[in-house]
Amino acid sequence: MNKKLYKLMNWPQIEEIIYSECDNPHELLGPHKSGSQTLLQAYFPEASAVKVKWKGAGVGATTEGLWKKDLEMELADEDGYFAALVPAKSLPVYSYLVTDKDGVEREYGDPYRFAPQLTKEDTEKFKNGIHYTVYEKLGAHPMEIDGCEGVLFAVWAPSAMRISVVGDFNNWDGRVHQMRRLWDSGVFELFVPGAKKGDNYKFELKLKGGITYLKADPYGNAAQLRPETASVVADLRDFKWEDADFIKNRQNFQTGNAPMSVYEVYLGSVVEPAEGKEYANYREIAPVLIDYVKKMNYTHVELMPVMEHPFDASWGYQVIGYYAPTARYGTPEDFMYFVNELHKAGIGVILDWVPAHFPRDVYGLSNFDGTCLYEHRDPRQGFHPHWGTLIYNYGRPEVSNYLIANALFWVEKFHADAIRMDAVASMLYLDYGKNDGEWVANMYGGKENLEAIEMIKHLNSVMKKRNPGVLSIAEESTAFPRVTGDLNEDGLGFDLKWNMGFMNDYLDYIKYDPYFRSHHHGELTFSMIYAYSEKFMLTFSHDEVVHGKATMVGKMPGERADKFAGLRLSYGYMMTHPGKKALFMGQDLAEFDEWNENRRIRYDLLQYPEHAGVAELVKDLNKLYQTNPALYEFDDSPVGFEWINNISADDCYLTYLRKTDKPEEILLVVANFSGVEKDITTGVPYEGKYKEILNTDAVKYGGSGVVNSRIKAAVDTEWDDRRQSVTVKLAPQSLSILQFVPYTEEELTKVIEARIRKNTPVMKTVKKPAVKKVTKKETKK
C-alpha cells in the first residue's frame, strides 16, 4: 500500500469493521472526499482482489482515461479490507468486481455510497409513537436509488452494538452488510444493491458482551413456511386492485345498523390441498369460499389470524410475523388476490388480530436486542401464565406504534374491512389470568392497564380518521364499561363487541334437557337486560367447538332428532335476537366432529337431509335477517325489541317483537324451548293478520313439519296484558317468525261490524297502506 493511502487509513475504525462491531460503517466504507481526490474503501471478507468498475464518468478527474478502465484496489488488511484513492472530486455509479480465494469473480454494488433513506422526521415520529406508516420505512423494501436496484433494510434495536442484514444475497455472512445506526433513534438501516424480491434474510445482532444471534424481521412482509424461520423480501407495490366500488360503498355496507352475518373461517380447513401439498393456495381457496358464502347469504367472512405464526395448533393466535400473511397459503400477492376476489363478489373481510401477547420463540420479538424491548422486563407485567406468552409493553411509544401501524397496515395495504381485536380483556386488566403476587398494580393502585387502554383508544381514533367505514371489533369477555362508547365520552371507541355473555348463558341454558330448563329461564332472557349497554355482535365462535366442548349440535341434549331440533331453535333465536351475527364454519352444517386445524369442513354432510336442512335454515335466516328491517334497523336501541311474554318459565317459551317505526314491518317471534308440542297463545300489538314466514320445524329444514300454513287473524281474547292474541302451534324445540299483515279497509270494516254486533270495544288497528292506481299518463312520466 502506498504511503499516502496508508496515512488515510483509520486503523481503529477498520478494526471495528473487521471484528464486526461497527454501528456506523458508512463513516469509513464507501466514497469520501479527501481534498481534490476521493477515498474509496470496501470490506469483502476473505477476498483476494477487488476492482472498481465504472458505469459512467465522475467530476474533476485528474487522470486521463480514468473512467475507461477498472480500478484495482489495494489490500489494506489481509482479512479483506480494500482501499483506493481515486483522483477525482466525485465518482460516477460504480460496482465492485470481487475475486474470492477460489479465483471466482462476482460483481457487487456498494451499499455504503447511499445516504439514509429514513429521515429525522421519520425517526422522531416513530419515537413518539405516531408514525402510522412506519411499515413503509422499517422492514425490507425493494426500491431503486440513483438507478441502482436493491432492497432497503431497516430495524429498530437500540441496545444492539452492531446489526448486520444477512441472507441469500451475502451467503448469510454477518461481516458483509453491517448496518448504520441512525443518530439516537435506535434504528439501523442499509440499502443493499442486488438484493431482490424472494431473497431470504434475517438480522444478525451483536451485543456488547459479544453474544451474536439472528432475528427475523419484525416488519417483514413475508416469511418462510415453518419450520424454517427466515423473513422473505416481498414487494407489495405490484398488485392491481379491482375493488374500488366495494371500498367506496363500504361505509353503507357495514356501519351503523347495517345487517352483518359473519362466517368465521380457518383458511386451512376450506379446501383439500392438491396431492403432495400441505395447504391450498389463497387463490384456490377464494372461489370455493366465495361460492359457499354467497350461497349461504353471509355478508362477511372473518379469518382466524392469517399473520405468520410458527405453531399450527395455535390457529394463528401466537403471531411471530405481524406484517406477513402466512406462507402456508401462498405469497402476499396471493392474499391480496384473495381479498380482492371477495370484495368483487360483495363479501366483506374481517381479520382476527392479536395485540395482547406474543410467543417466546427465540427468532421473534422476545429479548429482541438483548433487552426486553417489546415486552416488560418484570415477568409480573410481561408474562402471561395463562398462555405461556409475553405481554407487550404498551407504554413504550415505539411498541404501541408497532401495533397501531400494524392494524392500519392490514386495512390500507390488504384492504381489510374490519379488525377483530383478540383477547381484549387480557389487555385491559393487569391481573388477567394471574394470582395475587403475580401482577403489579397501576400508578393509582388499580388493576386496569392504563397503557393498553391508551393504545386501544389511540388506534381506534386513528383508524376512524384514516379509514372511515372500517370496523373495529372487540373480543372482550368482561363488563368493562363503554367498550363501544364514543372516544369523546371516555369510551374505548370500538364499533362492535362480541357478546360473550349471550353465548355463554345461552349455551349453558340449552345444554339442559328441556324438562329441567324451567329452572334456568333467567339464563335465556338475561342478555336482554344489558343488550343495549354496548353495540353487540352475537357469536357462536371457534372457541366453543374445540377442546372437548363439543360442536353446536353436539351440545344439544337428547336423541339425534332432538339435537337437530335444538340446533335449529338456537339459530332461530340468535337470528331474531338484537345484535350482529357470527357463526363458525361447519356449524351451519351441523358437524358432530369437533373442529381441529388438521381437517377440512365436512361439505359432504350436505348429502344427508338433516344436515342439509340445517344449512338451508341458516341460509334462509341470513336472507330473512338482511331483508327485514325489523331485525336490524333499530338493532342497538330498545325501540327495536319488545317482550310480549318472557316470564313463562314453567312452560319454557318466549314471545317477542322485532320492530321498526312502521307497524306493518313488525315481526312476531314465538319460541318453544320445551320438549313437547305446544299451542302457544300470545298477545299481539295490533289487530290484523299474522303470517308465518319461517318455522324451524319445517320439513325442508329437517323438521317434522309442524308449521302454521294458514294466516292467523288476531282474535278478541286478552292475553299477555293485550286485548288481542293469536295461537301458534309449535313442535318441541322450535321457533316461528310471523309477519304482521294489516287489514285492508274492506277487512277492517267487516271486523268492526262484527265487533259492534257483539258489543266488543273497537281495538287499536293499523290499516294496510292504500295502493294508488297509476294512470298510463303517469307511467310515461
Active site residues: 422, 475
Alpha carbon of residue 257 to chain centroid: 21
Using CA atoms, how far residue 542 sits from 220, 564, 573, 660, 702, in Å, is 29, 19, 19, 33, 25
Q: 504, 487, 499: which is closest to 531 by C-alpha?
A: 499
The radius of gyration of the chain's CA atoms, rounded to the nearest angstrom, is: 33
Are 172 and 143 contacting, i.e. CB atoms less than 8 angstroms apart?
no
Residue 399: Cβ within 10 Å count: 21
| Residues in Cβ contact with 184 at an 8 Å cutoff, skipping those fewer than 6 apart | none
8 Å CB contact between 294 and 343? no
User: Cα–Cα distance between 495 and 348 in angstroms, integer?
Assistant: 15
Question: In what side-by-side order are the strands of the sheet with 71-72?
Answer: 71-72, 49-54, 94-99, 105-109
Give the β-pairing of 300-303 and 348-353.
parallel
∠ Cα 593 597 599 (to 5°): 55
In 81-228, beta strands by DSSP E: 81-86, 94-99, 105-109, 139-145, 148-156, 162-167, 180-181, 187-193, 200-206, 212-215
**How far is CA 55 from its chain centroid?**
47
Residue in the block written with cell 429525522: 120
Reported in sequence order, the residue ranges of 364-503 that DSSP labels E, i.e. its strands, are 383-384, 389-390, 418-421, 471-474, 496-498
| HSE, side-chain direction, 13 A CA sphere, residue 500 | 16
Q: What is the DSSP string of 669-709?
A: EEEE-SSS-EEEEEE-SSBSEEEEEEETT-GGGTS------
The C-alpha atoms of residue 52 and residue 315 are separated, in whole angstroms, by 52
C-alpha cell at 677: 308440542
As a whole number of angstroms, the distance between CA 302 and CA 350 comes to 4
Alpha helix stretches (DSSP H) within 34-78? none
Torsions phi, psi for 156 (to 5 deg): -100, 115
Interhelix angle 120-127/397-412, rounded to 10 degrees, is 110
- The whole-angstrom separation of Cα 616 and Cα 589 is 9
Three cell numbers written together for 400: 404501541
Residues 6+ apart with CB under 8 A from 14: 28, 76, 77, 81
